[in-house]
Amino acid sequence: MAESTDDLAFAILAATVHRLLGIDLEAYRSQQLDRRLQFFRTRHGLQDNADLAARLRDDPHLVQEFANFLTINVSEFFRNPDRFDLLRDRFLPELLRRQRSLRIWSAGCSVGAEIYSVALLLQELDPTGRHELLGTDIDAGALERARQGVFEPLEVRGVPAPWRDRYFRREGSVWVLNPEIRCRVRFTRHDLVRDPYPAGWDLILCRNVVIYFTEPVKRRVWMNLAASLRPGGILFIGGSESLYGVPGTGLRYVAPCFYVREEPASTPDHPAGGTGGA
Same domain, 92 and 64: no
Contact (CB, 8 A) for 251 and 278: no
Same domain, 45 and 163: no
Confidence of residue 270 (pLDDT cuts 50, 70, 90): very low
Where is the domain boundary, 14, 48, 71?
A: 71
Same domain, 120 and 33: no
The b-or-e profile of 41-55 (16+ CB within 10 A means b, else e) is beeeebebbbbbbeb
Same domain, 29 and 146: no
Same domain, 131 and 238: yes
Average pLDDT over residues 172-192: 96
Same domain, 44 and 14: yes
Per-residue pLDDT, 73: 58
Average pLDDT over residues 156-176: 95
Per-residue pLDDT, 252: 94
Residue 272 covered by a domain: no
HSE of 187, CA atoms in CB hemisphere, 13 A: 24
Same domain, 168 and 246: yes
Confidence of residue 71 (pLDDT cuts 50, 70, 90): low
Q: What share of the chain is helix, strand, coil (3-state, %, to 5)?
A: 45, 20, 35
Instruction: Give how many domains the chain has, as a whole number.
Output: 2
Per-residue pLDDT, 277: 33
Tell me, what CATH number does 218's domain have? 3.40.50.150
Whole-number Å distance between alpha carbons of 98 and 92? 10
**Which of 107, 82, 137 lies closest to 255 in space, CA to CA?**
82
Contact (CB, 8 A) for 20 and 9: no
Lowest-confidence range among 7-11, 22-26, 74-78, 239-243? 22-26
Percentage of the chain lying above the pLDDT 70 cut: 90
Residue 116 covered by a domain: yes
Same domain, 249 and 117: yes
Confidence of residue 19 (pLDDT cuts 50, 70, 90): confident
Average pLDDT over residues 29-40: 80
Where is the domain boundary, 52, 71, 90?
A: 71
Percentage of the chain lying above the pLDDT 90 cut: 62
Q: In what order do the strands lie in the sheet with 150-151?
A: 150-151, 174-177, 168-171
Asked if residue 60 has pLDDT above 50, the reply is yes
Per-residue pLDDT, 4: 65
Average pLDDT over residues 18-42: 80
Confidence of residue 146 (pLDDT cuts 50, 70, 90): very high
Same domain, 87 and 13: no
Per DSSP, the residues of 142-182 read HHHHHHHTEE-GGGGTTS-HHHHHHHEEEETTEEEE-HHHH
Confidence of residue 7 (pLDDT cuts 50, 70, 90): confident
Confidence of residue 255 (pLDDT cuts 50, 70, 90): very high
Asked if residue 104 has pLDDT above 90, the reply is yes
Mapping DSSP to helix (H, G, I), strand (E, B) and coil, where does residue 191 land?
coil
Residues 115-130 pLDDT 10s? 999 999 999 999 999 9
Residue 121 covered by a domain: yes
Question: CA gyration radius for the chain?
Answer: 21
10 Å Cβ neighbour count for 153? Answer: 10
Whole-number Å distance between alpha carbons of 200 and 144? 25
For the entire predicted model, the pTM comes to 0.78
Instruction: Kindly list the distances between the CA atom of residue 7 and the CA atoms of 1, 3, 91, in Å, as whole numbers in the listed order.
Output: 12, 6, 45
Identify the domain containing residue 203 by its residue range.
Answer: 81-261
